[in-house]
Amino acid sequence: MIGSVSTIVRRELLSLFVSPIAYIVLFCFMLVNGATFRFYVGLYGGEMEPVLVSTFGGPAFWFLWLLIPPLITMRTFSEERRSGTFELLVTSGVSDAALVAGKFLAAWVFLGLLWAGVLPLLLLAEAYGQLDWGVVASTYCGLALSSALLAAIGVLASSLTQNQLIAAVLATVVNLGIVLSNQLRALFPPSAIELRFFEYVSPPYHFARDFSQGIVDLSTIVLYASVTVLALFATVKVLERRRWA
Amino acid sequence: MVEDARSEWTAVWLLSLEQRDRLSEASCGGDAMIEVEGLTRSFGRQRVLDAISFTVPARQIAGFLGQNGAGKTTTMRILTTFLPPDPISGAVRVAGLDVTSHAREVCRRVGYLPESVPIFPELRVAEYLRFRARLKGLGTRRVKERVGAVLDLCDLTRVARRSLGVLSKGFRQRVGLADALLAEPEVLILDEPTSGLDPQQVAEVRRIIGRLSEVSTVFLSSHVLGEVEQVCDQIVILGGGTIRARETREGWTQRLERSGRLELLLKDPSAGAEKRLRSLSGVTEVAKEGGRFVIASSCDVREQVFALAVERRWTVLELTPRPATLESLFLELVSDEGVA
């Protein structure tokens, strides 16, 4: 199982890096992050705390958070099914769970690499101001958890269709729904129970309340991990569907 | 040098197969490597396979013939566990293992070449084969050994470092075949293995398949009737989702002889000649083609025709057997099907 998963992860990453999409995504990602970081450093002077909060919680962050994972995951199963390589993969004795785990891990690792690319900016910033590395660590913990969730949603969307574009749109719509759920909080009075629900499921709220404050709440970890596992489980079931169709 | 390496590889494979044979014989208790009993498969309301049954004994090459849409690829996909049979369907076993309940074990024992070889264009040939070998569960040392062996066997060594995306169809087909052979499968399922190849490549692939039958059971589908006739020990004809015929090569030869026609050219044939020929026992049909009588029969009627000609004082100018071809027999067998 582990051998098959690592083989698939390696192949997926290799495919990503020999195709232009990885480099286009990397370039756009670094450009947007670099520009916004520069902007916030200029705006807040030597004050690093608001710079961190804005870099990992501003509009540009949520724009990247929404759009990048679907671009990475859209091809995972769609392309395999369209080109027929899916038939070869599943008839080589690899379990559906290993296949899904491999594809998911590759997407997750790639997203991790993207966010790791922002670290040099933070190191650079530390030369000019005081940086709370505890907050950086909790923010990266939030990024890891949310990236896992988004990668799992993207892989699930990709397993549902042979068309990469539809897979990307589907995953983006779901991600948008997750992010916008935070806006629904405005509809409820501060004491409403619904408000608690939307706070519980809203990543922007988690980033604002916990991760950017140096807090990693166990309930948040459980939420992200369980939804990720649920999405991956659903993907395995989608793949198994062919056996019962 | 190359021949030495190949025979060495074949010997190694034979040895390891002997060990596995004992295991598979223990599990299936017999000689059949592919057993299909009452296989049914539907897509929606359309029944593509309707209770088909056949077996392929170990170390034989079986050819699967049928028109487009007859259900060949569906059958092969079921044998490779990619598709399940219908829930009410009969049993399908490969190497004694049920394809539904032991899907992963079946996959490990089967080498599969799909109809249009799907590949990862971004990978190089050797890289792709290494990836496939690892996926099939081969250890690091075995990966190196097996990749080298199949590159050699399928004559791919000179393109091992080339990207799959730039290879010709012939080479891609060979890469697909090399992939199917990586894990030393007991059963090889080849869907149209020579489609799109030039005559030289076709001959090469046939030669490889012929050699493989020494160590594996081969089940191949083809549109090329001559190929099946030349290569296969057993021929199964599928039409309209049912098995129309299933014979050994010798059986086909006899069937072809039986299905032959006899051409008779008479000098000034009398008006009743056709009727008298039709009355001979065993004659099923008499047609007149350009002055010649073409006699179809269920047995050899040459002697009877000769005796009739002597009796009726006909002058026989020609009496020529016209043997049936696999093509004519195939068309006859599938002619009344509703194409699935």
Residues B64-74: pLDDT tens digits? 888 888 888 89
Local structure of B319: helix, strand or coil: strand
B50/B8: higher pLDDT: B50
Over chain A, what is the mean pLDDT? Answer: 87
- Per the CB < 8 Å rule, is B122 touching A92? no
Tell me how far the alpha carbon of residue B216 is from its chain's centroid. 14
B12 band by pLDDT with thresholds 50, 70 and 90: very low
Of B83, B119, B132, the CB nearest to A92: B132
How far is residue A120 from each of residues A34, A114, A117, B103, B130, measured CA to CA in Å?
10, 12, 7, 49, 36
What is the token pair recorded at B185? 């499968």
B150 at A interface, C-beta within 8 A? no
Of the ranges B94-103, B194-203, B321-330, the best mean pLDDT one: B94-103
Residue A244's pLDDT band (cuts 50, 70, 90): low
Q: What's the pLDDT at B336?
A: 59
Distance from CA of A147 to the nearest CA of B (A): 26
| B184/B216 Cα distance (integer angstroms) | 8
* CA gap B296, B285 in Å, rounded: 5
- The pair phi, psi for residue B98, each rounded to 5°, is -70, 130
Report d(CA B160, CA A150) in Å as an integer. 38
Which residue among A19, A87, A95 places its CB closest to the CB of B114? A87
Mutation to test the A interface, candidates B102, B122, B135, B138, most A Cβ within 10 Å:
B135
- pLDDT value of residue B331: 78
Summarised one tens digit per residue, pLDDT across range A76-104 is: 999 888 888 888 888 888 889 999 999 99
- pLDDT confidence of residue A130: 77
Q: Are strands B110-113 and B187-191 parallel, antiparallel or unpaired?
A: parallel
Q: How far apart are CA A76 and CA A228, in angstroms?
A: 16
pLDDT class for B28, splitting at 50, 70, 90? Answer: very low
CA distance B274 to A42: 106
Shortest Cα distance, chain A CAs vs residue B11, angstroms? 24
pTM for this structure?
0.79
Give yes or no for B41 touching A (CB within 8 A). Answer: no
The more confidently predicted of residues A39 and B329 is A39
- A71, B174, B254, B285 from B298: Cα distances, Å: 67, 43, 11, 10
Interface of A with B (CB under 8 A): 3-4, 7-8, 10-11, 14-15, 18-19, 83-85, 87-95, 242-245
Rounded Cα gap, residues B311 and B306, in angstroms: 9
Q: Which residue's entry shows tokens 């000649």?
A: B273
What's residue B27's pLDDT?
A: 40
Percent of chain B with pLDDT over 90: 20
Residue B184 in contact with partner chain A when CB distance is under 8 A: no
Catalogue the E-assigned strands of B44-185.
Answer: 46-57, 61-66, 91-94, 97-98, 110-113
pLDDT at B189: 93
Q: What is the band of A47 on the pLDDT scale with cuts at 50, 70, 90?
A: confident
Q: What is the ipTM of this complex?
A: 0.82
With tokens 């200029």, the residue in question is A42
Question: Between chains, do A243 and B84 touch, taking CB under 8 Å as contact?
Answer: yes
- Whether A94 sits inside 8 A of B80 (CB atoms) is no
Q: Quick check: A90 and A236 in contact, CB under 8 A?
A: no
* 3-state SS class at B163: strand
For A148-159, what is each residue's pLDDT tens digit? 999 999 999 999
With CA atoms as reference, report the closest residue to B237 among B127, B308, B327.
B327
Statement: residue A68 has pLDDT above 50: yes
Contact A93 B84 (CB under 8 A): no
Chain A residues touching B134 at Cβ < 8 A: 3-4, 7
- Report the chain A residue with the minimal C-alpha distance to residue B100: A243
Say if the Cβ atoms of A3 and B137 lie within 8 Å.
Answer: yes
- Cα-Cα-Cα-Cα torsion B180, B181, B187, B189, nearest 10 degrees, comes to 30
The reported pLDDT for the residue numbered B271 is 81
Lowest-confidence segment of A186-190, B45-49, B153-157, B246-250 by average pLDDT: A186-190
Contact pairs from chain A to chain B, CB under 8 Å: 65
What does chain A come to in residues? Answer: 245
Q: Is the pLDDT of residue B29 over 50?
A: no
Q: Give the range with max mean pLDDT: A83-92, A128-137, B249-258.
A: A83-92
Q: Which amino acid is at A95?
A: S
Lowest mean pLDDT among A207-211, B155-159, B312-316: A207-211
Whole-angstrom distance, CA of residue B9 vs CA of residue B3 = 10
Chosen for mutation from B77, B105, B110, B120 (greatest number of chain A CBs closer than 10 Å) is B120
User: Sorting pLDDT into bands at 50, 70 and 90, what band is B26?
Assistant: very low
For residue B193, the model assigns a pLDDT of 87
Q: Whole-angstrom Cα distance, residue B155 to residue A37? A: 55
CA distance A237 to chain B (A): 15
The H-or-E segment that residue B117 falls in is none
Under 8 Å between Cβ of B75 and B238: yes
Say what the pLDDT of residue A8 is: 93
How far is Cα B141 from Cα A212, in angstroms, rounded to an integer? 49
The three-point CA angle B105-B150-B121 to 5° equals 85
